Chain A
Amino acid sequence: MRTITRRELLTRRAVLKGSAAAGLVVGVPGMLSAQAKAPINIGTLCPLTGAGGSYGPDMQRAVVAVVERINKAGGIHGRPVQLFHEDDQTSAEAGVRAARKLIDVNKVVAIVSTWASAVTLAVRPLCVEAQVFLIGVSGADAVTQGEHKGYVARTQPNTKLQGSMYAKFVVSKKEWKRVAYLALQTPYARSFGDAFSGILRAAGVTITDDLIYEDKKPSYRSEVTRILATNPDLIMLEGYTPDSVVMAKDIYKAGYKGAVLAPSFAVNAKFIEGASAEVSEGIWNMDRAPLFDSPAYKDFSAAVPRNDTSPYAPQAWDQMSIVALALAAGKGEASGTVIKDNLRAAANPPGTVVYTFAEGAKLLGEGKKINYEGASGACDFDAIGDILSAPFAVQQVRKGKSELVTIINP
């Protein structure tokens, strides 16, 4: 071991002294400058893999883009936002473990952009208990029902609402008189089906069959045989992409010549690639329409270039913006409770309409009221955290691509 030179010793001492001084500044509690810099931790819990794996990455990018803008605008009450990302693998158990880490280790005050209903439902009790705010795109009715003390909200219409919008479209197409409902086993299959069928029956449409099928099967031949035997003109196929691909192929192979309606989050570019353009030709698909004309949507599109028009990334964009604005509407403390208490102040009327965090924060700073309108819609929340209804975009696959056909308004 060689001896340390005098020069090294001096530099070392200088470094030590310097860091000690810095440590003193950071370590001493109550010093205003230190407190102002302490970041606000927010967690994202998206499906980067699994059945929802097509959507997670864009949702995550949208949140990152919003946070960049927030920090550039000076942060929330001067504090920067720090993001922690986790992959829920579109699985409830993985989601719970990831949420545990976000809440316990990273100490986030909010978890945004959850996707699958099963994950949101599983993670909800943890968030409520820890007073962490939870906001996502999951549609199952149960997400906002029951005891959540206001710590839960979502930017996607609940399944009852969705079911009614799909039904509205079907009724408008007078040639479909016999409809079969074919859904994947999920937390929302039943409530969607009931809402959908109920309205159709009232409009004089016959529901020829109602079948809920199991996930992850390589072939659905027997299910398809049963459904086709009831002679439907339209099959309402409510699943996720992987199973919908298999089901669509089996329906095609069995010689079905009628129409198929499915959610756009299932019949996306990946679906068309997997099922083939021939099988996909003519499949109707719909989903909540992003607010294409809104300045927020334009802002979002510029910041998050992507290949599809799914509504999730715009919602993730809005969720982060709303959470930030709710915190900005508070007094400076950052917690899930502050978000919960100020959510509607930030997002609902009355107030000046704002489309970005920067605008909203400025007005809040001046003591004015705001009403955030976002890329995904007006984002106005009711008492239990649901959004008021939204328009839906109807598309049809033509020559290998989904094309917009019409908008269904609530």
Chain B
Amino acid sequence: MPPIAQYVFNGIVTGGILALPTVAFSLLWRLLRFPNFAVSTYLTVGAYAALALNAGARAPLEAAWLGALLATGGVALAVDRIAFRPMRDRRPFSLAIASIGVAFVLENVVRFVWGNDFRAYDVPVTRAASVAGLRIGHEQLLILGVTVALMALAQAFLLHTRLGVAMRATADNPLLSAVKGVPTNHVIAVATFGGGALAGGAGVFLGLDASIDPLMGGGIIISVFAAAILGGIGSAPGAFAGALIVGIVEETGTLIVPPTYKTAIGFVIILAVLLVRPSGLAGSRS
């Protein structure tokens, strides 16, 4: 039986990867008032955008990652314009269903172009280093580092920039914000682009840590959902904490439950949180 520390570390890495889309998912939910299932597919889009740049155009992975951020942000904006804007005044459930349709389309566009095979980036495969009995991979540290940096940036943006403050105001009270002159459409566009970019960046991480295939985003939607609800919808720190907890619970859970039931763990978390404390750790219900 390996030390539980290895599982916890693995969980932290998983949680780190989940954190970016969870923050995007959580904040967008608060702002636009519906769970956007397409967020998990933005991961897939980002991963493949980077693949196209890296394996196709031979760009180094760092550049491909930046390209993925921009590309996914753009796709998210386009999706919002085409699918969600015409439905701004509808009930959340209708938007959620529409977002499922969008997710389906994005996943299959990727599948149409690249097929179902698992792909990988053009980077050397490295062996993990053994540090204090733990196996720690070079990419894993990189992912964690960049994720934490991005989280800090996002939080700073929300708290200290005018646009960030405007975003929080709009999320709290859209009507009042509009009356007070906060440019709602502008705010939504920035949030959507930013959320999409974050998710796209996470997609590259996931592709680096695991593999790239059309189902990669869809495979984590339940975990993202669980993390967002656990952390409390609308709170970025909450989302981060929720993602870490979900990651750790999923990984350590494989000690008790067969690894094949990992998705079930996320599901149980969702149920438990919703039944016991729906507002999650840090969020407040709208």
Nearest-neighbour CB distance to chain A for B50, whole angstroms, equals 15
Q: Which residue of A lies closest to B140 (CB)?
A: A253
Whole-angstrom distance between the alpha carbons of A253 and B135 in the complex? 9
Q: B126 an interface residue at 8 Å Cβ cutoff?
A: yes
Contact A221 B10 (CB under 8 A): yes
Q: Which residues of A contact B259 (CB under 8 A)?
A: 211, 213-214, 220, 222-223, 226
Q: Is the CB of B128 within 8 A of A253?
A: yes
Are A219 and B209 touching (Cβ within 8 A)?
yes
Contact partner, B210, options A185, A219, A278, Cβ 8 Å = A219
Stretch at the interface among B86-94, B211-219, B238-246: B211-219
Inter-chain contact B125/A278, CB cutoff 8 Å: yes
Q: Which residues of A contact B130 (CB under 8 A)?
A: 255
B114 beta carbon closer than 8 Å to chain A = no
Q: Which residues of A have CB within 8 Å of B6? A: 225
Task: Find the A residue at minimum CB distance from B216.
Answer: A218
B267 adjacent to chain A (CB < 8 Å): no
Give A245 to B216 CA distance when docked, in angstroms: 16
User: How does the 8 Å CB contact mask read for A238-270 relative to B, with 1 for contact and 0 for none?
Assistant: 000010011001001111000000000000000
**Chain A residues within an 8 Å CB radius of B125:** 249, 252-253, 276, 278-279
Q: Name the distance in Å between B260's Cβ and chain A's nearest Cβ.
A: 4
Closest to B47 in A: A218
A interface list, Cβ under 8 A from B? 49-50, 185, 211-214, 216-223, 225-226, 228-229, 242, 245-246, 249, 252-255, 274, 276, 278-279
Q: Which of B192-214 contact A (CB under 8 A)?
A: 206, 209-213
Q: Which listed residue (A49, A216, A225, A246) contacts B10, Cβ 8 A?
A: A225
Q: Is the CB of B118 within 8 A of A274?
A: yes
Bound-complex Cα distance A221 to B208 (A): 13
What are 25 of the A-B contact pairs (CB < 8 Å)? Answer: A50-B116, A185-B260, A212-B260, A213-B260, A216-B215, A217-B210, A218-B219, A219-B209, A221-B251, A222-B7, A222-B10, A225-B6, A226-B254, A226-B259, A228-B2, A242-B117, A249-B125, A249-B211, A252-B125, A253-B127, A253-B128, A253-B137, A255-B128, A274-B117, A276-B120
CB of A213, distance to nearest CB on chain B (Å) = 7
Q: Which residues of the partner chain B approach A212 to less than 8 Å between Cβ atoms? A: 260
Contact partners of A217 in chain B: CB under 8 A: 210, 219
Residues of chain A contacted by B127 (CB below 8 angstroms): 252-255
Q: Check B1 for interface membership: any CB of A closer than 8 A.
A: yes
Chain B residues, CB < 8 A from A278: 124-125
Q: Bound state CA distance, A226 and B260, in angstroms?
A: 13
Using A220-B259, A229-B2 as known contacts, list a sample of 11 further A-B pairs with CB atoms less than 8 Å apart, ordered by residue number in A: A218-B210, A218-B215, A222-B251, A222-B259, A223-B254, A242-B118, A246-B210, A253-B137, A254-B128, A274-B119, A278-B124
Contact indicator per residue, chain B 94-132, by CB within 8 Å of chain A (1) or not (0): 000000000000000000000011111000111111100
Taken together as a complex, chains A and B put the C-alpha atoms of A220 and B206 apart, in Å, by 13
User: How long is the Cα–Cα vector from A245 to B212 in the complex, in angstroms?
Assistant: 12
In the bound complex, how far is the Cα of B14 from the Cα of A388, in angstroms? 48
Which one of A211, A216, A229, A255 has the highest number of Cβ atoms from chain B below 10 Å of its Cβ?
A255
The chain B residue with its CB closest to the CB of A246 is B211
Q: Please, which residues of chain A bring their CB within 8 A of the CB of B260?
A: 185, 212-214
Interface string of B247-286 (1 = CB under 8 A from A): 0000100100001101000000000000000000000000
